[in-house]
Chains A and B, each alone.
Chain A
Amino acid sequence: MLRIRAFETAAIRAADEKLVLGAIHPSVGQEAVAAGVCAPLRRDDLLLSTHRGHGHTLAKGADAAAMMRELFGRDGGNCGGKGGSMHIADFSVGMLGANGVVGANINIAAGAAHGVKLRGGDQVVVCIFGDGAMNRGPFLEGLNWAASFKLPVLFVCEDNGWAATTSTRAVTGGPGPAARAEALGIATAAVDGNDVLAVEEAAQALVESLRSGGGPRLLHARTYRLLGHTSVDKAAYRPAGQAEARWADDPIRRATDLLLGAGVAQNVLDADAAAATAEMTAAFEDAKAAPWPPVSAAYDDVQDIGAVAAPAGL
């Protein structure tokens, strides 16, 4: 969680300094969902994420320096600088991609689980999406698909209450994602998404049931987006005081209190926080100094047959 927070802090600074040019969607306040959900996963388990995916990606084990380079659009980024924040993927750790299209990852996750099932093995697929995504068609189609084929996929609704500038409750019928999933025969669990131990415990149980062939599950994790939708959004549309009040529920603060209560010394925790900050500051400096991708890369990886050649001299 500390590493995610430090990564987001560095990324926001980079966006402010115009070192990161595209939009970034910070996950500050939502770190416990990423950390807790990914804790029980193996490296070969698969993860599909969203536009707000830095935390999920780090928690799945992606290299922070490569991620930072990707945000900066530099050589050595996870996607060679061609994707940026909203399209980070690291297939080497089973992270099959953030996504710029809300809800698009749900059907892809169902399909990834379908592939896992066809090939045999006990990998699981985790699909994290926001509360706003449950109102897109793929939510129905992908969940029904996973249920009817009994696929090993854990759907995680990371419910931060907001979809860009709209309160999700204002545009959503019924009691929420769990009730919708249950209507399709998918067992669900709900958890306080700012309680990292509770998230981990719930995810652990659900992942175990997936590994033993129990079919899809859905975890509803309630959390809060402490900052704006993007790094430049001041979120002035939220009721006055809402975000301020929710800082009291900051998952890192809660975990810190828990550890202090369990007898961990403050200086140990301080050292962890300092190490996280140092790691991400180094990633920031590394990305800033990194070379741009070779321009010819714009022409690479389009397709095998029929790709156009880069102009001579590139």
Chain B
Amino acid sequence: MARLSYREAGRLAIAEAMRADPTVWCLGEDLGRGGVFGQYAGLEAEFGPDRICSTPISESAIMGAAVGAAMAGTRPIVEMRFADFALCAVDELVNQAAKARYMFGGQSKVPLTVREPMGMWRSSAAQHSQSLEAWYTHIPGLVVIAPATPEDNYALLKAAIRNDDPVVFMEHKNLWDMEGDVADDATAEIGKARIACAGGDCTIVSWSAQVHVAMQAAAELADDGIDAEVIDLRSLWPWDEAAVAASVAKTGRLIVTHEAVGVGGFGGEVVATIAERHFASLRRPPLRLAAPRIPISYAPELENQVRVTARQIVAAVRRLN
């Protein structure tokens, strides 16, 4: 057991994976200097510049080359710096990485882990703040992971690297410094949710940094005698329908909250699935609490307009209970 930051937990996962498997390597901008958030610090010294490969500012080449290198028998970890810049490499990810296995009749898999730091982070405005996880869940062939804690960042990043298909691994920029206990050799199964806090009165589903907002809400509700169950999905594709369904069977109430825009967001998928397949469990209409469909502003109070706060979650739960 160690006390690690979310950043260090990710770095440890990579270091261990690279020690165990010489075909694992990292490529992206400024990696030799530790990466833009220090999440690769010290790795070049241990593994050398061939395996911690500092690239030109060439996102489509970074992603495309990783696809080729994955087909040629290596396990690349791609660093996209900000999820926003991964949009410069969407063809390589969506048309190439996600399709190759299927199109080529199973001749090749593409074992690729794409790290895309996402989310709002101190006045970073419209091109450095987005949460676009829902897009990737829409693409057959991709696995999508968005961890909320240091231990999950460690365990799920290791699982992602071991996975034989392309994984979009979205760390939240606001969590880099968050500390938590990480069990030695902690493991997590992709597709399994984590019950962040148990309760029988209302199910709150979330992922990534928004889990912590949901937890604040749950703490406030507990003071009022309302026991919310917070489910951290951890991975969005595959996602743990069984865990959510079991919880809703108990509580009869479902709120999904995420930082991303609500329209077309993954909350819609969760709500629709529960409504379609577990309708009888619902004692109240399900609810989504997510960002309005506006870009993210620079000025703090304007930026705050896209945040779903603990207060809003508390109010929503009270309305349902």
Contact = CB atoms under 8 A, between A and B. Distances in A.
Interface string B61-92: 10000000000000000000000110010000
Nearest to B124: A22
Interface stretch (A99-107, A116-124, A213-221): A99-107
Given A73-B298, A292-B299, A83 B57 contact: no
Nearest to B56: A135
B49 to A, nearest CB: 10
A74 interface: yes
B299 A87 contact: no
Contact of A83 (B33, B126, B292): B126
Interface in B37-61: 54-61
Contacts of B29: 163-164, 166
Size class of the contact patch on chain B: 35 or more
Interface stretch (B182-190, B273-281, B300-308): B300-308
A113 interface: no
A73 B303 CA distance: 10
A172 interface: yes
For chain A, the bracket of interface size reads 35 or more
B299 A74 contact: yes
Contacts of A293: 299, 301-302
A298 B88 contact: no
Contacts of B30: 164-166
A66 to B, nearest CB: 14
Contact of B58 (A136, A164, A165): A136
B84 to A, nearest CB: 7
B157 to A, nearest CB: 23
B57 A86 contact: no
A94 interface: no
Given A73-B299, A82-B298, A137-B60, A87 B125 contact: yes
A166 B294 contact: no
B305 A298 contact: yes
Given A133-B57, A171-B54, A299 B125 contact: no
B217 to A, nearest CB: 19
A297 B58 contact: no
B127 interface: yes
Interface of B: 29-30, 32-33, 36, 54-61, 84-85, 88, 122-128, 292-295, 297-303, 305-306
